[in-house]
Amino acid sequence: MNKKNNSFSLPVRIIIYMVTILLFTAGAILLITANHFNNQTKQYHEDILKRKVRAVEAALDYEMDNFPGVATKENIHNILEEGFLRIGDINKTDIVIYDLRGNKILTTQPVSTTYNVLPQKILDRLKNNNEIIITNKDTNNENDIYSSYSNIKNYYNENIAILCLPYQSNQDFLQQDMFTLIGSYGLAFAVIILFGTLAVYFVTKKTLTRLWSFADRIRETEVIVNNMPIRYDGNDEIKVLVDSYNDMLKKLKHQSDLIAKQEREEAWRDFARQVAHEVRNPLTPMRLMIQNHMRKFDINDPNLEEKTMRTGNILLQQIDTISSIAEAFSDFAKMPSRNDEKIDIIDVIKNALYVFPAEYVEFNYSPKAIMMRFDKQYLNRVITNITKNAFQSIPHTRKAKVKVDVMLLDNFVHITIKDNGEGIPVEAQSSIFVPKFTTKNSGMGIGLPMVKKIIDDYDGTIRFESEVSVGTTFYILIPYHE
């Protein structure tokens, strides 16, 4: 039995779906974590830069407060030039001073990483906002360079210059923390996927094993046999399926019993009508014969003895016909008890075919002997009935040819009987195995139903293919039991 309807089994598909979902979840968590980590890192460096800006601004205010006059945009260069480098060293940061037009006037950078002339967009933003502006100017290797821009104000709160603090972040230790965190996430998800996969596989496999056993039982369910209900002690969704199947069995048994009872009653009614019809046929001429003999009876008739003998012979013939009818129906209604024995199928069929003209019968078989347990009389009846019908279907104007093939294949005995007769009319093919149905002018119509009953008793099948004016082929398939 093939239990897979797909390139992958259900447990494998469930595992693939689960792993896919977990991987997407892990990816989403890692992306969110990395984004959050980067935002936190950026915020961390901005906070450091803001603190440096506050410290530098306080130092610059101190320098301007110690100047004897008022700091202006014209003398700011002179005011800060002496203590400019000292402020940078104390705060461990580079300092760049621009005039209000954006021109660089002072710097502590030996190699400039800032603008020589500030872009107009920065100048415009400083006019509208006196707060610190943080921009991520560019990226140098793995470390980001931040720059803060703010207005330097004098005692009268006038803008006299622009302060720029370039700040180069050190990402090494933060990236190390991020990689450590991502590695921990990865290890945790790997463990979850491993144990989750194993758990899903075993649970799914156990569930499917039960379902497959239920499917096998359902597949074996038939209408006319005593099907046993499925026992399941669990209290889960599978129990609903099992209870539904057991309820179906009860309904199926009840309905099959009703159908079987109706079929038996209808069959006996049909049998009774058929017996009455078949018996009435010879009784009618017998009645007429006796009435005619009584009407013409004359004790002085010199031919009285001859007429009486002729009438008696006719009556005896009709009585024999009635007797044969009763015997035929008796054979069908009560077949001899089955007596299985180990026989050679080939030998029994060969003996059954001996009663037919050998020049018109072709018998082929493979292997030379097929030994199995079977009722010899039953097999003889099957072959004899079908072969006799085959010869009776062949018109006298045609050279008879009946071909019988027997072979053992795939643990089944295949029997094929082919004739070149007139074939079975299309309208009669659906009733060919129905008792009392016949396409011949004589006969009881119980030969083929008897054959089908025998084949059914051995769990076999019988079917036919027929073409009018060409012939008919019967195919018999019987399970082989050595």
Where are the domains positioned within the chain?
10-176, 237-333, 341-479
Give residue 141's identity as a one-letter amino acid code: N
pLDDT over 80 at 222, yes or no: no
Q: In terms of C-beta distances under 8 Å and separation of at least 24 residues, what long-range contacts does 466-471 make, across chains too?
A: 466/423, 466/424, 466/429, 467/423, 468/422, 468/423, 468/424, 468/425, 468/426, 469/422, 469/423, 470/420, 470/423, 471/418, 471/419, 471/420, 471/421, 471/423
pLDDT over 90 at 45, yes or no: no
pLDDT classification of 331: cutoffs 50, 70, 90:
low
Q: Do domains 10-176 and 237-333 have the same CATH topology?
A: no
Half-sphere exposure of 313 (CA within 13 A, CB side): 6
pLDDT classification of 443: cutoffs 50, 70, 90:
very low
Q: What is the pTM of this model?
A: 0.39
CA angle 417-418-423, nearest 5°? 125
pLDDT classification of 421: cutoffs 50, 70, 90:
very high
Task: Give mean pLDDT, residues 185-191.
Answer: 81
Task: Give mean pLDDT, residues 162-177.
Answer: 75
Fold of the CATH domain 237-333: Helix Hairpins (1.10.287)
Residues with Cβ within 8 Å of 201's Cβ and at least 6 positions away in sequence, in order, are 11, 15
Q: How far apart (Å, rounded) are the C-alpha atoms in residues 40 and 35?
A: 9
My answer on whether omega of the bond before 119 falls inside 30° of 0, hence cis, is no
Question: What architecture (CATH level 2) is domain 341-479?
Answer: 2-Layer Sandwich (3.30)
Q: What are phi and psi of 117, to 5 degrees?
A: -130, 125
Count of CB atoms within 10 A of residue 289's CB? 16
Nearest to 100 by CA among 70, 78, 83, 120: 120
> Helix 304-333 and helix 237-295: axis angle, to 10°?
180
For residue 257, CA distances in Å to 211, 250, 254, 277, 437 come to 29, 11, 5, 30, 25
Give residue 266's identity as a one-letter amino acid code: E
Residue-level pLDDT at 435? 63
pLDDT classification of 442: cutoffs 50, 70, 90:
very low
Residue-level pLDDT at 2? 46
Highest mean pLDDT pick, 214-218, 222-226, 234-238, 248-252: 248-252
pLDDT classification of 339: cutoffs 50, 70, 90:
confident
CATH number for region 10-176: 3.30.450.20
When mean pLDDT is compared across 104-113, 148-157, 167-176, 202-211, the lowest value belongs to 167-176
Residues with Cβ within 8 Å of 195's Cβ and at least 6 positions away in sequence, in order, are none
